[in-house]
Amino acid sequence: KLFIKDLSFETVPVRIYQPKAPSASQRRGVMFFHGGGWIFGGLETYEKQCRFMARESESVVVSVGYRLAPEHKYPAAYEDCLNATIHFMKNTEHYGVDPANVIVCGDSAGGNLAAAVTQTLAGRSDLPKLRAQILIYPGLQALDFNLPSYQQNRGVPFLFRERAAFYLLQYLNGNASNLEEVLEGSHIPIDIKLNYRKWVSPDNIPEKFKVRGYKPHVLLDSTTEVYETVKRFCEPNLCPLLAEDAIIQQLPKTFILTCEYDVLRDDGLLYKKRLEDNGVPVTWYHLEDGFHGIMNSFNDWLSFSSGKRGLDNIMNFLKSL
């Protein structure tokens, strides 16, 4: 049912999935950024999901093979996703896509990249506005690895707390030195943390998410040497939760999926609150029995009904656009 083609947008490898059936009107286009901690994954890994998405929602799906860490550090992955998206938005007519109906979508690290790309494009007047963003258990901040979800789910597969910090450091620096400081929270000076407290704080997490084994964490200060190595964690292109309100207010309609048993759950909850506080329409779907990476187990030997529910909700949102 699909034409599938490998191309390059600028220098970025992409795989395009186009429905074969003729369409009376222009289709919607979906830019898809895969997960894998900025280190793993690629076009092959997400082949099934992209085919499913293109078929089910009758959209043109563009899967982006961005450069991976640690060989290619931040901002390589972000720049590849941004450049591929801009290229597509400027050339939608080649693919029968409505320029006013382009959506960015990603899971995990891909959700991080989708949020960063959406923020960057929000202020651009030379391009059509993005129609929506779909963020599937995204990682959106690196200030606090002791939020309730990080404590509660520290040892839940497929993403352990220590791994989450390790991947972020690999993406940022190409190595994981200062992992201990990042985990305990002594990597960012207190004054900077307090400055972002209005956005990144357990106080912004609804109480019902704190009942399962959460202890408030003592704020620690940072040495200048450690902060020097990780200060780019305060850049919104790396940690989209830290973008200014003026940017957040311009964001398009958003779908956020979170899982109860996921260290990144609270990143999604905090972003949901920020968007809602700034008047952005948010569709939130929470998998009470879900865990990180559940979408990857989609129609595999390892398949979970809650993963299917999550996917159905994403498809419903897509079709509503």
The one catalytic residue among 57, 59, 63, 108: 108
Continuous H helices in the chain: 47-57, 76-90, 109-122, 148-152, 161-173, 179-184, 190-196, 224-230, 245-248, 265-277, 305-319
Continuous H helices in 27-186: 47-57, 76-90, 109-122, 148-152, 161-173, 179-184
The one catalytic residue among 59, 107, 222, 292: 292
Joined together, the tokens standing for residue 40 give 């793993």
The answer to whether 187 touches 227, Cβ cutoff 8 Å, is: yes
Name the packing angle between helices 305-319 and 47-57 (round to 10°).
Answer: 50
The answer to whether 73 touches 176, Cβ cutoff 8 Å, is: no
Residue 217 bears catalytic tag: no
CA distance linking residue 166 with residue 36, whole number of Å: 12
CA distance linking residue 17 with residue 170, whole number of Å: 31
Residue 108 bears catalytic tag: yes
Q: Which of 3, 30, 16 is nearest to 85 (CA)?
A: 30
Residue 292 bears catalytic tag: yes
Concatenated DSSP letters of 125-168: SSSPPP-EEEEES----SS-TTSHHHHHTTT-TT--HHHHHHHH
Residue type (1 letter), 68: L
The one catalytic residue among 107, 144, 262, 267: 262
CA distance linking residue 268 with residue 134, whole number of Å: 11
DSSP run (H or E) holding 98: strand 97-107
Active site residues: 108, 262, 292
